[in-house]
Structure 1
Amino acid sequence: MAPKRSPSGSSTKSPHKKKHHAHKVEAEVSGVVDTAVGEKEKKKQNFIVRTIWTVVMILGFFGLLAAGHIYIMMLVTVIQIMTFKEVIALANEPAREKKLPFGKTINWYFLATTIYFLYGESVIHYFQEVVLVDSYLLPFATHHRFISYMLYIIGFMIFVSSLEKGHYKFQFAQFAFTHVTLLLVVVQAQFIMNNIFSGLFWFFLPASLVIINDICAYLCGITFGRTPLIKISPKKTVEGFVGAWISTIVFGMILSHFLSKWQYMICPVTDFSANAFSGLTCDPNPVFITHTYSVPSVLVPVVGRATLDFAPINFHVMIMASFASLIAPFGGFFASGLKRTFKIKDFGDTIPGHGGITDRMDCQFLMGFFSYMYYDSFIATHHMRVGNVLETAIQSLTVTEQIQLVSSLHKYLFNQGHISNETYNCLEGAMH
């Protein structure tokens, strides 16, 4: 039966159909509104959670910083292990599906071996005068590298023994992925540990520069960002990148000015019991001391004076801030590319509202490694330490020669008036 038509010739709908259509439209509009409200509420809750955990992390970090060097080292160790766990989990999932033997075990074994080698190297280097005089630790200190190598060989043999026909390509890819992760995460994090040994300033300032740059890049980007910077991270802009560079230099110099006044921050580790309230003192590195420099004659009219007084640390901070702004972000771009490769949003959910540890540390590893290399090359004062002399005496002299060296030191100290005649006779008598 043909539908009824109006006098104009158009078809008409029954009142029932019109009512049904109106309800359908109303339901669709209501669904869209509910979805929008739900998304808004979800973003609000995520912002609240993110803010709370940001405050918790900041307070916790400063609490550990005040507690002492050993607690910061423990923090770096935990971050090191958690980051390795998150990254290596990307490759572990397919391994579980294939039910290959020792896959996860091998990864953790290589992690333990690498940490043993790296931590041992640092402890032996910075605390030679402790480990070289202990009868139990001496064999481990003198043969540390050989022991580490043999531990690695054991892991290598376990891996080769676990190879299964039909899975060779996958297993070797896993082996390579594990070693790249160890290199980019564990090895680089160890240099952050060495920065702590050199003084908390060299740990705190580089880490702060990365955070400052990240914040400034976001603010500059949303304010006047227009030109895309890199395809792997579409939200990054050239304007935000350059603006953050300038801002990081300014804030970095202000921060370093205050940190350099606090000896707890600039003194190297000599006593693990020291904390922010123990009155730690040392002879500051020359870079923290103000010097007078002559202004080139060509620039005198511009500067308005023939000399300038400033501490060299200001120049070094400019270099470090430039690295934190122009190069360290590529660690974040690398992590973004890795996440896109494995089609994930975050490396984990360890930190509520912030994703995984890796999502927060992707730039820090690169910055920490650079900071160590820069400090060791241009800032560190390389001089003979007690540990160096002790190592040479133990490894290069016979027992008779070692006793002769000690006796000569006693005599020298007595002749210089540093020890009394009674003390000298007591020491010599004890030796014989």
Structure 2
Amino acid sequence: MDIRNRNKPSNTTTSNGSTANTTEKSLSPQQEKRYFDSSKDDESSSEDEVGKNLKTNAGADNSSAADPPFAKWKKLIVRSIIGAFMIAFFALILNTDHFVVSLFVIAIQLLVFKEMISVRYLEAKEKKIPRFRTLNWFFLLSSFFYFYAKPILVKLTHYYPDLFQHFVRYHLWHSFSLYVIGFVSFTFTLRKGSYRYQFSQLTWTLMTLLLVVVQSNFLISNIYTGLIWFILPVSIIVCNDIFAYFNGFFFGKKFIHKPFMKISPNKTWEGFIGATFCTLIFAYYFAGFLIQYDWITCPKGDGNFLEPLHCVTDPVFLMKEFVIPPEISSVLSKYLGLHITSFSFIPIQLHALVLALFGSLIAPFGGFFASGIKRAYKIKDFDNIFPGHGGVTDRTDCQFIMGLFIYVYYSTFIKTYEVDPSQIIQAIMMLPIDERIKIIDKVKSTLMN
């Protein structure tokens, strides 16, 4: 929606036939964006205001009722073609290396951060605040240094120990120092008359870092645990989104006319329910397909770049036989005529059903959360990078919470708690040379005995 339309002067005919200007003076191009100040009431988030400024009567395909019949089919075709290209590009990334996939996730974080920060950007206001936008990006890069720098520094220490040993040893201190620099710098940027605006913007930045960078850190952890813990959940979200769109497109509001979510009126019950069943079927069989490849199931460990992976197969990927208790098997035989005493299954496929349920019932609320932001600030999409899809945030709003769920679920119900040799090596590399020599001598003497 063009915000300028709300500020253009309009003429109203009075009772004596004269005309009167009923609106304020139109804003200059630099003042067109709304001043998002927390001191003002959020009247725009009310249902009445939203109805005035957004097309709430759009169909499940995000098209307006006033569009010609071929318009929604054109949108469907464009969305499908762009979606196919995005899936192909994603598959290409996955065929490279875990490190490249991690860089891909970091690039997504950068783009999402940019889009989220731009939602509240007011150029005319922030021009008066020196280095304020630069400070936002400084906080982002500081977060990156804290979460991602240490593994890279440890790797570089193997090749240049004298240069990077210091940064590995004092990584936490350097991270804290960056935070202090940002904190002090922000205080210096405070300007009279802009205090409330600056603090509300800082809060927005910190919230974005929490929702994007912190959660994405778990996504990268999942990648190195095994690509399957990244590919499967991401694919589940993509599958659910696709089937929700197509089910809503063809069957939306034909059986259940009540809107699914007021905050996202284009979502339908038919799309939500249909996508859930389709996602469960997809997750079960796709998990069975992925476990055929060591490259996908094996953790990365200390393998070199593009090095083929081989590992002892985790029990979660192996066929198991479940023996049915005699009490249950006798009941099945007596009353149902089913003579079953046991059955075989692969644990990952059952876990995949749990992931699919979360991806269908809970993860979509990441999208509803994003819809709330767009409604609050009267924007249709976060960006227009992908025709028919919007921006990067529009495509990844459900992925971050899904990645966090995978990390928690895997650590709680799947992971076998064993000592990770790579972590021991990393800890040893952080020690001074003389202490590392003592550890080596101790290990040698232990092995000799």
The match for 2:370 among 332, 335, 343 is: 335
Deviations along 1:4-29, whole A, 9 cap, x unmatched?
A: xxxxxxxxxxxxxxxxxxxxxxxxxx
Q: Is 1:193 aligned with 2:231? A: no
Query: Residue in 1 aligned with 2:444?
Result: 410
Query: 2:287 aligns to what?
Result: 256
The alpha carbon displacement at 1:258 in A equals 0.5
1:134 aligns with 2:161: yes
CA distance in 1, matches of 2:146, 2:441: 36
Q: CA deviation at 1:379?
A: 1.8
5+ residue gaps, structure 1, are 1-35, 416-432
Q: Over alpha carbons, which structure has the higher Rg?
A: 1
Q: Pick closer, same or farther for the CA change 1:309–1:44 going to 2, 3 Å.
A: closer
Q: Residue 155 of structure 1 aligns with which residue?
A: 182
CA separation of 1:404 and 1:113: change in aligned 2, threshold 3 A:
closer
Equivalence for 1:32: none
For 1:373-417, what per-residue CA distance to the aligned partner results, in whole angstroms no more than 9, with x for missing partners? Answer: 211222223322334434555668993x643442343355567xx
Distance change >3 Å, CA 96–CA 52, structure 1 → 2:
farther
CA distance in 2, matches of 1:190, 1:179: 15
Corresponding position of 1:92: 121
CA change 1:132–1:139 in 2 (3 A) is farther
Larger deviation: 95-104 or 203-212?
Answer: 95-104
Q: Which amino acid aligns with 2:441?
A: S
**Whole-Å Cα distance in 1 between the matches of residues 156 and 327 of structure 2?**
51
- d(CA) in 1 for partners of 2:245, 2:138: 40
8 Å contact from structure 2 (residues 300, 309) kept in 1: no
1:17-96 map, 5 Å: 46-93=75-122, 96=125
Aligned partner (choices 305, 312, 321) of residue 273 of structure 1: 305
1:296 pairs, out of 325, 333, 336, with: 325
Shift of 1:325: 0.6
CA 1:246–1:40: 2 relative to 1, 3 Å: closer
CA distance in 2, matches of 1:129, 1:312: 38
Distance 2:408 2:102 in 1: 19
Partner amino acid, structure 1, of 2:140: L
Distance 1:156 1:95 in 2: 24
Bigger fraction of residues in helix:
1
Local SS of the residue matching 1:194 = helix
Asked if structure 1 preserves the Cα contact closer than 8 Å seen for 2:157 and 2:165, the reply is no
State the SS of the aligned residue for 2:340. coil
**Aligned-pair CA distance for 1:179:** 0.3
**Aligned position for 1:23:** none
In the superposition, relative to structure 1, how do residues 205 and 392 fare at CA in structure 2: closer, same or farther (>3 Å)?
A: closer
**2:337 maps to 1:307:** no
Secondary structure of 1:207 counterpart:
helix
Query: Could you tell me the TM-score, scaled by structure 1's length?
Result: 0.78
What amino acid sits opposite 2:326 in the alignment?
Answer: S
Q: CA distance change for structure 1 residues 109 and 95 in 2, over 3 Å: closer, same or farther?
A: farther
Name the CA shift for 1:103/1:329 in 2 (closer, same or farther; >3 Å).
Answer: same
**One-letter code of the match for 2:385?**
T
| Cα pair distance change 1:239/1:55, threshold 3 Å | closer
Alignment length (residue pairs): 374
Tell me, yes or no, if structure 1 residue 369 matches structure 2 residue 366.
no
CA offset digits 1:207-260 (Å, max 9, x no partner): 010111112223333425514222111232334323322221111010000001
Range moving further from structure 2, 390-399 or 255-264? 390-399
CA contact (8 A) 2:126 2:132 kept: no
Give the equivalent residue in structure 1 for 2:22.
none
1:153-181 per-position Cα deviation (integer Å, ceiling 9, x unaligned)? 10111111011111111110001000001
Q: 1:216 to 1:98 in 2, by over 3 A?
A: same
Cα deviation digits, residues 79-100 of structure 1 (max 9, x gap): 1100100110011225646632
In structure 2, list runs of 5 or more residues that go unmatched.
Answer: 1-64, 333-337
Residues 372 and 272 from structure 1, CA distance in 2 versus in 1: closer, same or farther, beyond 3 angstroms?
farther
Is 1:244 the counterpart of 2:271 in the alignment? Answer: no
Does 2:131 correspond to 1:102?
Answer: yes
The counterpart of 2:393, out of the listed 358, 364, 373, is 358
1: CA distance, partners of 2:159 / 2:342: 49
- Contact (CA 8 Å) 2:212, 2:400: kept in 1 or not? yes
Give the partner amino acid of 2:359.
A
Please give the alpha-carbon distance, in whole angstroms, between the structure 2 residues aligned to 1:235 and 1:370.
26
1:209-220 matches, cutoff 5 A: 209-220=236-247
Q: Cα deviations across residues 333-384 of structure 1 (Å, max 9, x unaligned)?
A: 0000100111011101122332111111111111111111211222223322
Identical residues among aligned pairs (%): 39
CA RMSD of aligned residues (A): 2.8
C-alpha contact 1:249 1:318 (8 A) present in aligned 2: yes
Note closer, same or farther for the CA distance 1:375–1:95 as it changes in structure 2 (3 Å cut).
farther
1:321 matched to 2:350? The reply is: no
- The whole-number CA distance in structure 1 between the counterparts of 2:262 and 2:289 is 38
Taking the aligned partners of 1:135 and 1:362, their CA distance within structure 2 comes to: 42
1:307-336: CA deviations, max 9, x gaps? Answer: 222122122112111110110000000000
Separation in 1 of the partners of 2:255 and 2:73? 25
State the 1:135 CA deviation.
3.2
Kindly tell me: are residues 166 and 402 of structure 1, through their superposed partners in 2, closer, same or farther at Cα, counting changes over 3 Å?
Answer: closer
- 1:380 partnered with 2:412: no
Distance 2:402 2:427 in 1: 34
**Equivalences for 1:164-183 in 2 at 5 Å?**
164-183=191-210
- 1:144 alignment counterpart: 171
Relative to 1, partners in 2 of residues 1:129 and 1:91: Cα closer, same or farther, differing over 3 Å?
A: closer
